Each structure stands twice: as C-alpha cells, then as structure tokens.
Amino acid sequence: GAVVSQHPSWVICKSGTSVKIECRSLDFQATTMFWYRQFPKQSLMLMATSNEGSKATYEQGVEKDKFLINHASLTLSTLTVTSAHPEDSSFYICIPWKGRREAFFGQGTRLTVV
Amino acid sequence: DAKTTQPTSMDCAEGRAANLPCNHSTISGNEYVYWYRQIHSQGPQYIIHGLKNNETNEMASLIITEDRKSSTLILPHATLRDTAVYYCIVREVTNRDDKIIFGKGTRLHILP
C-alpha cells in the first residue's frame, strides 16, 4: 500500500500556542488532501478538503482562521492549529488522495493542549 | 451526513467468521462501498472496496447485494487482533470533492 507519513505523532502544547501538523504522501502524488479529527469514543469528522494549489474547503462548523491548511505541493499538506485551546485536544488524521482508489491514512497526531 | 447504517457493536468468537452488515439504501450507481477499520488509537486501515461484484482480498470478503442497498464484510477467521471499529463508507462524488464521510461504525469484539 501507499506510504503516508504524518508528523508529529503526538504533541503537547500550552494553551494559546500554535501547532503545525505535516502530512506527506511518500510514493504518490495526492491531488486532494482530507483532514479529519476524532474526539474520544467518537467517529472521524471531516474538517476540510484541500486540492493542491487552491484554498481548502472547510466543513460547516470548522473555523478556517483557526485551522490553517496549506497544500503547497502534491506530496505535502500541513494543518496548523492556531491559538490552541484545551477543547482542540483531539486526534487529527490526514488522507492524501488521488482518484478512485483505496485511502491510506496518516498515523494520526494526538494533540493535547494544556 | 453518512449514507450508511451499521450496528453499534458485535461480538464474534475467535476463529469464527465475523459478518459485519451495512445498509446503504440511498447509494447511487457510481458510488463505491468501502470498508475501513480503526484499531484503538491508530489511524484507520483500508480493508476492501467494491462497486457491484463481490470482492475478496487477503484480509476479507465483501458481499454486495444485487440491488446494492446493503453489503456484508466477512472476516473469515477472526483473531483477537481483529478487535476494532469497522466503518462502512459510501463515497460521495461531487466534481473533485470525493469526500469520505464516516458514520459511527461497528465496534467488533473478538472473544477468546
């Protein structure tokens, strides 16, 4: 299967700081990147969809100014959680996607804001 | 919203076949059925997908009814490592927005 690298796998940050999460597709070019978050004991919720070179499309209820997504190349997308607060503590997962194929998920990033 | 419904949880004895049902009564002709699973605190793992025909790979089999309104994922010889949340997903295709929308999934417990 495809190799997806998501970094960091876990991070603890202080309230008010920003955290950047990277997602790389190592062996294919992803024209689309999906970002999800998952709160404990809940399902994965789609946050935003980004296509390379264009602005991300955010799902209803997701603040675009708080969750900055950059999809600068076909192999790299970043999600920056700005001014993080404890309620942003969650498991964040990326899916680089190309066409009709199976999805390979990043390993996820567990963010804890203290 | 997710276009699938699944039982909240299921139990299966180790070594037996685990049959996980999924209803997707509003599926359209070009939409695929995908199955993923998520083992605790890990990113989801792809299992299998199909359009109309039954599919089999090294992990599982996927049986899709003729009217495509439901499907069943079969793990032929369940092991304790198959304990996970299993998600049945129908892919929405709207121009370039091939979204993957997750429902609540089925929590499968494999019993020793």
Band of pLDDT at residue B95, cut at 50, 70 and 90 = very low
> What pairing do the DSSP bridges indicate for beta strands A109-113 and A10-13?
parallel
Cα distance from A51 to chain B (closest Cα, Å)?
8
Question: Does the beta-carbon distance from B46 to A46 stay under 8 Å?
Answer: no
> For residue A112, what are the CA distances in angstroms to A3, A9, A85?
26, 11, 9
CB-CB under 8 Å, A44 with B102? yes
Closest-CA residue to A108 (of A46, A33, A38): A38
C-alpha gyration radius of chain B: 14
pLDDT digit string, tens, across residues A83-109: 999 999 999 999 888 765 667 788 899
**Residue A2: pLDDT above 90?**
no
Omega prior to A8 cis, within 30 of 0: yes
| Residues 49-88, chain A, touching B (beta carbon < 8 A) | 49, 51, 57
Q: Does A3 touch chain B (CB under 8 A)?
A: no
Q: Do A106 and B98 touch (CB under 8 A)?
A: no
- pLDDT of A72 strictly over 70: yes
